[in-house]
Amino acid sequence: MRRSVVPQSTLITRVNVTPIIDVALVLVIILLVTAPLLPASDLPVDLPQARTREAEDERNVSVTLGADGQIAVDDVHLAREALRAHLAARLAEPGNEDVLVVLRADSGARVGAVKELLADARAAGAQRLAIATRQKVEALP
């Protein structure tokens, strides 16, 4: 007489975390792809070209100057007269003592207006200033 082996069902006692990790990694990838697409303000700005972009990875306050003279601090549109007070208030917030102030000026903006914005930022208490540029793309030889 032959004995037949009947497989017994085993209970699953562990949670399979592989699908959870897959979903989490997909969400991280989506975040990394969409984060650079979020603008600092909705003013259309044509930035001048440069070879380096070192200051963009830091936490900063963005001051935007449009070609028509419109000014925005991060996403708040301001009149020229209110810039210094608003920027001073932003720099006085806790944790913003040594924040980088990045000036995003349109390449068609007057140089005098850019100089005035830099002077206003310095007068508002900005210790670190930078000017945003577009990365210059060089042709391959």
pLDDT tens column, 14-45: 888 888 999 999 999 998 888 777 666 666 77
Would you state the pLDDT for residue 52?
A: 57
Give the pLDDT band (50/70/90) at residue 51: low
Distance, CA of 1 to chain centre: 77
> Per DSSP, which regions of 1-141 are E strands?
49-50, 60-65, 71-73, 76-78, 100-105, 128-131, 134-135
What radius of gyration do the chain's Cα atoms show? 26
CB atoms within 10 A of CB 64: 26
Is residue 35 a contact partner of residue 45, using CB atoms and an 8 Å limit?
no
Instruction: Check residue 57 and give its pLDDT.
Output: 46
State pLDDT tens for residues 62-121: 888 888 888 888 888 888 888 888 888 888 888 777 788 888 888 888 888 888 889 988
The kind and range of the H/E element at 31 are helix 18-34
The confidence score (pLDDT) of residue 53 equals 52
